[in-house]
């Protein structure tokens, strides 16, 4: 009984049939928000810089997140990506999460939603707190700049509008940058059997071809709750461990971006 109640509080059977809003609606709302709140270009004073990425926090409970934020505030990476499933979708969990996040000027946070963030009408809460689920920005050094694209595939698909936006960005913006990094929640390839959903094969075909043609260097995902990595074409696909409190080996990703290469490692909490 307890288990059933716990499960019901975290997942929503309605979502098996229909979501509260379409991914195209979320995309349009995000673009409107982006127009009103353009993302600033981040500037690195050195040629080599670091960013961090975490995923699957599943707040309410935020002990692991708190530990991670302590370390991040100390190390001051140029950016922290939060690759979805920040909460369980409940309004209270959003409030718990927001309460522990530091101010944006002390640690630049770049969240995107995961499937759990959409449960129980969670998009409204997400939008209220973070504004946008799809955006891009660049990080500049004195010599060059790198393109970062954050995508919303929390519903298992990018949707038609977001895909067209991504294609245009890769076609016109990508050539002006040195590296290109994509961040989204649902991992694309299934390197191990898992119950969670990935993008359709037809969508994956388009995405993989885009990555090859436009020389995407890195794709960061969460969702699987277990870290793994693979290279396909020129692109490194990294899936993150979960940071949720109940996960036995929580870790976060440290990516070091330098003139010659992108290197990565996981740091256990």
Partner 1 sequence: MQNTYKALYLILLIMACCYPANSQVELDYLLDLGQTNVSQGLYISTALVSAYSFDKYTLKAGAQFQLIHPSSRVFSAAEFVAGRCFCVGKQTLEAEAFYLYRNFSSLMFISNWGLAVGIWKRHWRFDLGQDFKAYRVREKALSYETEGRVIRENFNLIYRIAYFVNSPEKPWNISLSLTNRDYFLINQETNPMLSLRAETYVSSTMRLYLENWYKPAGALNMSAHYFGYFARTGFIWTPAF
Question: Hey, is 83 helix, strand or coil?
Answer: strand
Q: Between 70 and 205, whose beta carbon lies closer to partner 1?
A: 205
Report the candidate in 109, 84, 89, 88 with the shortest Cα–Cα distance to residue 224. 84
Report the candidate in 263, 81, 260, 78 with the shortest Cα–Cα distance to residue 178. 260
Q: Of these, 158, 240, 255, 257, which contacts partner 1 (CB under 8 A)?
A: 158
Query: What distance in Å separates the CA atoms of residue 133 and residue 184, rounded to the nearest whole number?
Result: 10
CB of 102 to partner 1, least distance (A): 29
Residue 229 region by backbone torsions, left for phi larger than 0, else alpha for psi between -120 and 50, else beta: beta
Structure tokens at 267: 């740091």
Q: Strand 262-268 to strand 135-140: parallel, antiparallel, or no bridges (unpaired)?
A: unpaired
* DSSP label at residue 103: P
CB of 227 to partner 1, least distance (A): 17
Site for partner 1 in 164-183 (CB under 8 A): 164
Q: Is 160 in the site for partner 1 (CB under 8 A)?
A: yes
Q: Is 228 in the site for partner 1 (CB under 8 A)?
A: no
Q: Which stretch binds partner 1 (CB under 8 A): 67-75, 172-180, 201-209, 238-246?
A: 201-209
CB of 108 to partner 1, least distance (A): 27
Q: Is 151 in the site for partner 1 (CB under 8 A)?
A: no
Residues lying near partner 1 in the complex (CB under 8 A):
11-19, 22-23, 115, 118-119, 154-160, 163-164, 186, 189-191, 193-206, 208-209, 212-213, 215, 230-235
């Amino acid at each position: 009984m307890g288990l059933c109640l716990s499960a019901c509080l975290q997942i929503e059977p309605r979502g098996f049939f229909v979501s509260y809003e379409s991914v195209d609606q979320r995309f349009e709302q995000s673009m409107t928000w982006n127009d009103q709140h353009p993302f600033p270009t981040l500037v690195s004073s050195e040629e080599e810089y670091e960013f961090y990425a975490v995923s699957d926090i599943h707040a309410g409970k935020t002990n692991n997140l708190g530990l991670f934020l302590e370390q991040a505030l100390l190390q001051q990476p140029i950016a922290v990506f939060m690759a979805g499933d920040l909460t369980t979708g409940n309004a209270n969990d959003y409030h718990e999460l927001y309460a522990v996040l530091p101010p944006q000027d002390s640690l630049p946070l770049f969240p995107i939603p995961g499937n759990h963030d959409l449960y129980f009408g969670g998009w409204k809460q997400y939008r209220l707190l973070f504004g946008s689920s799809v955006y891009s920005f660049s990080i500049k050094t004195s010599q060059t700049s790198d393109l970062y694209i954050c995508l919303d595939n929390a519903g298992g698909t990018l949707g038609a509008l977001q895909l067209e936006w991504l294609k245009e960005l890769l076609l016109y913006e990508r050539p002006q940058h040195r590296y290109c990094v994509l961040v989204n929640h649902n991992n694309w390839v299934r390197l191990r059997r898992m119950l969670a959903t990935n993008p359709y094969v037809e969508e994956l075909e388009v995405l993989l071809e885009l990555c090859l043609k436009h020389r995407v260097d890195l794709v960061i995902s969460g969702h699987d709750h277990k870290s793994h990595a693979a290279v396909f074409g020129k692109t490194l696909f990294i899936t993150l461990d979960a940071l949720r409190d109940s996960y036995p080996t929580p870790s976060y990703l440290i990516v070091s971006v330098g003139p010659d290469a992108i290197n990565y490692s996981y740091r256990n909490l």
